[in-house]
Amino acid sequence: MAKPSTANRPLSPHVSVWRWHATMASSIAHRISGVANYTGAVLVTIWLAALAAGPEAYGAVEALIAGPVGILVTLALIGFTLSLTYHMLNGIRHLVWDLGHGFDPKGSNLRSILIFAGAVVITAAIWLAAGGLV
């Protein structure tokens, strides 16, 4: 039987050989925002279940928003908006990468910074448009 040609396969470089740069930060942020969006979807489901259950159950959600931890709920919602926006913008970039474009290091670093900034700007615009929703 022929021996499989496995001798020249590269070893994955360890994380610590990399110097910090914007594209690396954007990649890590993509994963963190993905997990944050997962958590957000869990909370959206709980909110929907309370809304479906009736006014008494939803009253508990409203009390939480109106109560002393209401500011934390608002901050969490702003964080969720930022996380969704960032993950979507960087996700579009990932789709472009999948098509084989945008691998130049300098341009990639610049686009990473633009994506971070874009996510903040879009999140701010959404919350200004929503105007005192929560």
Partner 1 sequence: MAELRTPLSRAKGLGSARSGSGHFIAQRVSAVALMLLIPVFVWMIARLPDMSYETARAAIGSPLGALVLLLTLTAAFYHMRLGLQVVIEDYISEPFTRAGLLIANTLLVAGLWLVALFSILVIAA
Tokens, residue 36: 């944050």
Q: Which of residues 61-120 bind partner 1 (CB under 8 A)?
A: 62, 65, 81, 84, 88, 91-92, 94-95, 98
CB 91 within 8 A of CB 118: no
Three-state secondary structure call for residue 82: helix
Cα 91 from Cα 52, distance rounded (Å): 32
Among 37, 70, 76, 108, binds partner 1 (CB under 8 A): 37
User: Under the criterion CB under 8 A, does residue 58 sit at the interface with partner 1?
Assistant: yes
Rg (C-alpha) for the chain, rounded Å, is 21
Residues forming the site for partner 1 (CB under 8 A): 4-6, 8-10, 31, 34-35, 37-38, 41-42, 44-45, 48-49, 51-52, 55, 58-59, 62, 65, 81, 84, 88, 91-92, 94-95, 98, 126-127, 129-130, 133-134
